[in-house]
Amino acid sequence: MLSLVAHGRKMDLNLPRVMGVVNCTDDSFYEGSRSLEKTKLEEKIYEMHSQGADIIDIGGRSSRPGSRHLDDQEELDRVAHSIEFVKAKFPEQWCSIDTTSAVVAEFALSKGVEIVNDISAGSMDARLWSIVAQWKVPYVCMHMQGTPDTMQIDPRYFDVVEEIASFFKTKISLLHAAGIEQVILDPGFGFGKTIAHNYQLMQGLSSFQQLNCPILVGVSRKSMIYKLLEISPEQALNGTTVLHTYALVQGARLLRVHDVGEAKEVVRLIQAITA
Protein backbone atom coordinates (compact mmCIF):
# COMPACT_ATOMS: atom_id res chain seq x y z
CA MET A 1 0.00 0.00 0.00
CA LEU A 2 1.82 3.07 -1.28
CA SER A 3 -0.98 5.52 -0.66
CA LEU A 4 -3.64 6.35 1.92
CA VAL A 5 -7.21 7.25 1.00
CA ALA A 6 -9.73 9.05 3.23
CA HIS A 7 -12.84 11.10 2.52
CA GLY A 8 -12.11 10.90 -1.22
CA ARG A 9 -8.55 12.25 -0.88
CA LYS A 10 -5.26 10.43 -1.42
CA MET A 11 -1.83 10.72 0.21
CA ASP A 12 1.10 9.22 -1.68
CA LEU A 13 3.47 7.23 0.54
CA ASN A 14 6.23 6.83 -2.05
CA LEU A 15 7.54 9.92 -0.25
CA PRO A 16 7.88 9.32 3.51
CA ARG A 17 5.48 11.46 5.53
CA VAL A 18 5.83 13.42 8.76
CA MET A 19 3.12 13.33 11.44
CA GLY A 20 3.31 16.20 13.95
CA VAL A 21 2.15 15.54 17.52
CA VAL A 22 -0.35 17.91 19.18
CA ASN A 23 -1.05 16.80 22.75
CA CYS A 24 -4.18 18.36 24.25
CA THR A 25 -2.97 17.23 27.66
CA ASP A 26 -1.21 18.52 30.74
CA ASP A 27 0.83 15.40 31.48
CA SER A 28 2.46 14.06 28.29
CA PHE A 29 6.14 13.26 28.85
CA TYR A 30 7.56 16.06 26.68
CA GLU A 31 6.61 19.50 27.96
CA GLY A 32 7.09 21.15 24.57
CA SER A 33 4.26 19.12 23.03
CA ARG A 34 1.52 19.49 25.61
CA SER A 35 -1.04 22.11 26.58
CA LEU A 36 -4.66 22.49 27.59
CA GLU A 37 -4.74 26.16 26.54
CA LYS A 38 -6.55 26.73 23.25
CA THR A 39 -4.28 29.58 22.18
CA LYS A 40 -1.11 27.53 22.68
CA LEU A 41 -2.62 24.57 20.82
CA GLU A 42 -3.58 26.84 17.93
CA GLU A 43 -0.03 28.22 17.83
CA LYS A 44 1.38 24.67 17.73
CA ILE A 45 -0.95 23.73 14.88
CA TYR A 46 0.01 26.87 12.93
CA GLU A 47 3.68 26.09 13.46
CA MET A 48 3.41 22.47 12.33
CA HIS A 49 1.31 23.36 9.31
CA SER A 50 3.76 26.08 8.26
CA GLN A 51 6.67 23.65 8.60
CA GLY A 52 4.98 21.22 6.23
CA ALA A 53 3.45 18.58 8.49
CA ASP A 54 1.84 15.99 6.24
CA ILE A 55 -0.42 14.87 9.10
CA ILE A 56 -1.26 16.53 12.42
CA ASP A 57 -1.91 13.96 15.12
CA ILE A 58 -4.28 15.26 17.81
CA GLY A 59 -4.67 13.42 21.11
CA GLY A 60 -6.34 14.19 24.42
CA ARG A 61 -4.98 11.51 26.72
CA SER A 62 -1.39 10.88 27.78
CA SER A 63 -0.25 7.28 27.43
CA ARG A 64 2.78 7.58 29.67
CA PRO A 65 2.93 5.09 32.57
CA GLY A 66 0.76 6.25 35.46
CA SER A 67 -1.18 8.80 33.43
CA ARG A 68 -4.71 9.59 34.59
CA HIS A 69 -7.54 7.73 32.89
CA LEU A 70 -10.10 9.96 31.14
CA ASP A 71 -13.67 9.11 30.30
CA ASP A 72 -14.85 9.59 26.72
CA GLN A 73 -16.45 12.97 27.34
CA GLU A 74 -13.40 14.51 29.00
CA GLU A 75 -11.15 13.27 26.22
CA LEU A 76 -13.58 14.59 23.62
CA ASP A 77 -13.75 17.97 25.34
CA ARG A 78 -9.96 18.20 25.19
CA VAL A 79 -9.55 17.47 21.48
CA ALA A 80 -12.69 19.02 19.95
CA HIS A 81 -11.37 22.58 19.65
CA SER A 82 -8.07 21.57 18.02
CA ILE A 83 -9.82 19.32 15.51
CA GLU A 84 -12.34 22.00 14.58
CA PHE A 85 -9.62 24.67 14.45
CA VAL A 86 -7.31 22.83 12.09
CA LYS A 87 -10.14 21.79 9.76
CA ALA A 88 -11.50 25.36 9.65
CA LYS A 89 -8.14 27.08 9.11
CA PHE A 90 -6.44 24.44 6.96
CA PRO A 91 -9.16 22.31 5.33
CA GLU A 92 -6.65 20.43 3.14
CA GLN A 93 -4.46 19.47 6.11
CA TRP A 94 -4.56 15.75 6.89
CA CYS A 95 -5.18 14.92 10.55
CA SER A 96 -5.21 11.84 12.72
CA ILE A 97 -6.94 11.30 16.02
CA ASP A 98 -4.85 9.58 18.67
CA THR A 99 -7.47 7.69 20.66
CA THR A 100 -8.61 4.29 21.86
CA SER A 101 -12.23 5.49 22.12
CA ALA A 102 -14.92 4.84 19.52
CA VAL A 103 -16.83 7.93 20.71
CA VAL A 104 -13.84 10.21 20.21
CA ALA A 105 -12.91 8.60 16.88
CA GLU A 106 -16.44 8.93 15.54
CA PHE A 107 -16.55 12.63 16.45
CA ALA A 108 -13.16 13.26 14.83
CA LEU A 109 -14.04 11.42 11.63
CA SER A 110 -17.32 13.32 11.37
CA LYS A 111 -15.30 16.56 11.43
CA GLY A 112 -13.08 15.42 8.57
CA VAL A 113 -10.15 13.75 10.37
CA GLU A 114 -8.58 11.22 8.02
CA ILE A 115 -6.77 8.65 10.21
CA VAL A 116 -7.42 6.83 13.49
CA ASN A 117 -4.27 6.20 15.54
CA ASP A 118 -4.97 3.55 18.19
CA ILE A 119 -2.26 2.57 20.67
CA SER A 120 -4.41 -0.33 21.91
CA ALA A 121 -4.83 -2.10 18.53
CA GLY A 122 -8.54 -2.37 19.30
CA SER A 123 -8.22 -3.87 22.77
CA MET A 124 -9.66 -0.98 24.81
CA ASP A 125 -12.95 -0.31 22.99
CA ALA A 126 -14.68 -3.13 21.13
CA ARG A 127 -16.67 -0.67 18.98
CA LEU A 128 -13.69 1.24 17.58
CA TRP A 129 -12.96 -1.05 14.65
CA SER A 130 -16.54 -0.90 13.41
CA ILE A 131 -16.35 2.91 13.37
CA VAL A 132 -13.11 2.84 11.37
CA ALA A 133 -14.58 0.29 8.94
CA GLN A 134 -17.71 2.40 8.52
CA TRP A 135 -15.69 5.48 7.55
CA LYS A 136 -13.19 3.50 5.42
CA VAL A 137 -10.19 5.44 6.69
CA PRO A 138 -6.60 4.38 7.44
CA TYR A 139 -5.98 2.85 10.86
CA VAL A 140 -2.74 2.85 12.83
CA CYS A 141 -2.37 -0.46 14.66
CA MET A 142 0.24 -0.18 17.41
CA HIS A 143 1.87 -2.92 19.45
CA MET A 144 1.89 -2.52 23.21
CA GLN A 145 2.69 -5.17 25.79
CA GLY A 146 0.14 -4.64 28.58
CA THR A 147 -1.61 -1.32 29.14
CA PRO A 148 -0.23 2.19 29.74
CA ASP A 149 -0.48 1.46 33.49
CA THR A 150 1.41 -1.84 33.32
CA MET A 151 3.50 -1.76 30.16
CA GLN A 152 6.82 -0.84 31.76
CA ILE A 153 6.57 -3.32 34.64
CA ASP A 154 9.21 -5.86 33.65
CA PRO A 155 8.43 -6.24 29.90
CA ARG A 156 9.82 -9.51 28.50
CA TYR A 157 10.20 -11.07 25.05
CA PHE A 158 11.88 -14.17 23.71
CA ASP A 159 12.45 -12.34 20.40
CA VAL A 160 10.91 -8.87 20.33
CA VAL A 161 10.96 -8.50 16.53
CA GLU A 162 9.54 -11.96 15.86
CA GLU A 163 6.83 -11.62 18.51
CA ILE A 164 5.68 -8.23 17.25
CA ALA A 165 5.66 -9.50 13.66
CA SER A 166 3.43 -12.38 14.76
CA PHE A 167 1.17 -9.93 16.62
CA PHE A 168 0.85 -7.82 13.48
CA LYS A 169 0.05 -10.79 11.25
CA THR A 170 -2.83 -11.74 13.53
CA LYS A 171 -4.10 -8.17 13.80
CA ILE A 172 -3.93 -7.56 10.04
CA SER A 173 -6.06 -10.65 9.43
CA LEU A 174 -8.60 -9.58 12.07
CA LEU A 175 -8.70 -5.99 10.80
CA HIS A 176 -9.31 -7.09 7.23
CA ALA A 177 -12.07 -9.40 8.43
CA ALA A 178 -13.61 -6.42 10.26
CA GLY A 179 -13.63 -4.38 7.04
CA ILE A 180 -10.51 -2.27 7.65
CA GLU A 181 -8.30 -2.46 4.58
CA GLN A 182 -5.86 0.39 5.15
CA VAL A 183 -3.62 -0.73 8.03
CA ILE A 184 -0.53 1.17 9.18
CA LEU A 185 1.81 -0.68 11.54
CA ASP A 186 3.41 1.03 14.54
CA PRO A 187 5.83 -1.24 16.46
CA GLY A 188 5.22 0.84 19.59
CA PHE A 189 8.66 2.02 20.63
CA GLY A 190 8.58 2.55 24.39
CA PHE A 191 5.27 0.79 24.90
CA GLY A 192 6.05 -2.30 26.96
CA LYS A 193 9.72 -2.43 25.93
CA THR A 194 13.01 -1.93 27.69
CA ILE A 195 15.66 0.29 26.14
CA ALA A 196 17.37 -2.86 24.83
CA HIS A 197 14.10 -4.08 23.30
CA ASN A 198 13.64 -0.74 21.58
CA TYR A 199 17.04 -0.90 19.88
CA GLN A 200 16.56 -4.54 18.91
CA LEU A 201 13.27 -3.45 17.36
CA MET A 202 14.92 -0.58 15.50
CA GLN A 203 17.61 -2.92 14.20
CA GLY A 204 14.95 -5.34 12.89
CA LEU A 205 12.56 -2.70 11.58
CA SER A 206 13.06 -3.58 7.91
CA SER A 207 11.65 -7.08 8.51
CA PHE A 208 8.15 -5.61 8.96
CA GLN A 209 8.13 -4.57 5.30
CA GLN A 210 7.22 -8.17 4.40
CA LEU A 211 3.78 -7.55 5.96
CA ASN A 212 2.97 -5.15 3.08
CA CYS A 213 1.66 -2.35 5.27
CA PRO A 214 3.20 1.11 5.79
CA ILE A 215 5.40 1.35 8.88
CA LEU A 216 5.01 4.25 11.29
CA VAL A 217 7.84 5.03 13.72
CA GLY A 218 7.33 7.09 16.87
CA VAL A 219 10.61 7.60 18.71
CA SER A 220 10.64 11.39 19.02
CA ARG A 221 12.42 12.51 22.22
CA LYS A 222 11.54 9.21 23.95
CA SER A 223 13.32 7.60 26.88
CA MET A 224 15.15 5.17 24.60
CA ILE A 225 17.10 8.26 23.53
CA TYR A 226 17.35 10.47 26.58
CA LYS A 227 17.95 7.70 29.13
CA LEU A 228 20.62 6.08 27.00
CA LEU A 229 22.36 9.43 26.47
CA GLU A 230 21.72 10.56 30.07
CA ILE A 231 20.02 13.78 29.01
CA SER A 232 16.48 15.22 29.20
CA PRO A 233 13.68 14.99 26.61
CA GLU A 234 14.34 18.67 25.87
CA GLN A 235 17.90 17.77 24.85
CA ALA A 236 16.95 14.74 22.74
CA LEU A 237 16.35 16.33 19.33
CA ASN A 238 19.72 15.35 17.91
CA GLY A 239 19.29 11.73 19.00
CA THR A 240 15.78 11.76 17.56
CA THR A 241 17.14 12.90 14.19
CA VAL A 242 19.67 10.08 14.17
CA LEU A 243 16.96 7.46 14.78
CA HIS A 244 14.64 9.05 12.21
CA THR A 245 17.40 8.72 9.64
CA TYR A 246 17.95 5.06 10.48
CA ALA A 247 14.20 4.34 10.48
CA LEU A 248 13.75 5.79 6.99
CA VAL A 249 16.66 3.75 5.67
CA GLN A 250 14.97 0.68 7.19
CA GLY A 251 11.73 1.38 5.33
CA ALA A 252 9.58 3.55 7.61
CA ARG A 253 7.02 5.54 5.62
CA LEU A 254 5.71 7.74 8.44
CA LEU A 255 7.51 9.49 11.30
CA ARG A 256 5.48 10.65 14.31
CA VAL A 257 7.39 13.63 15.66
CA HIS A 258 7.43 16.64 17.97
CA ASP A 259 9.72 18.65 15.68
CA VAL A 260 8.24 18.82 12.19
CA GLY A 261 10.80 21.05 10.48
CA GLU A 262 13.76 18.92 11.46
CA ALA A 263 12.00 15.69 10.49
CA LYS A 264 11.08 17.11 7.08
CA GLU A 265 14.77 17.90 6.54
CA VAL A 266 15.65 14.27 7.29
CA VAL A 267 13.11 13.10 4.70
CA ARG A 268 14.49 15.48 2.05
CA LEU A 269 18.08 14.41 2.64
CA ILE A 270 17.27 10.69 2.57
CA GLN A 271 15.26 11.20 -0.63
CA ALA A 272 18.25 12.97 -2.19
CA ILE A 273 20.49 10.04 -1.34
CA THR A 274 18.10 7.33 -2.53
CA ALA A 275 16.58 9.06 -5.58
Catalytic residues: 222, 256
**Residues 48, 223: Cα–Cα separation, whole Å:** 23
> In sequence order, which residues have a C-beta less than 8 Å from that of residue 135 and are 6 or more positions away?
6, 109
Q: Which amino acid is at 230?
A: E
**DSSP conformation letters of the chain:** --EEEETTEEEE-SS-EEEEEEE--S--S-GGGB---HHHHHHHHHHHHHTT-SEEEEESS--STTPPP--HHHHHHHHHHHHHHHHHH-TT-EEEEE-S-HHHHHHHHHTT--EEEETTTTSS-TTHHHHHHHHT--EEEE--SS-TTTTTSS---SSHHHHHHHHHHHHHHHHHHTT---EEEE--TTSS--HHHHHHHHHTGGGGGGG-S-BEE--TT-HHHHHHHT--GGG-HHHHHHHHHHHHHTT--EEEES-HHHHHHHHHHHHHHH-
Q: Which of 221, 245, 244, 253 is nearest to 234 (CA)?
A: 221
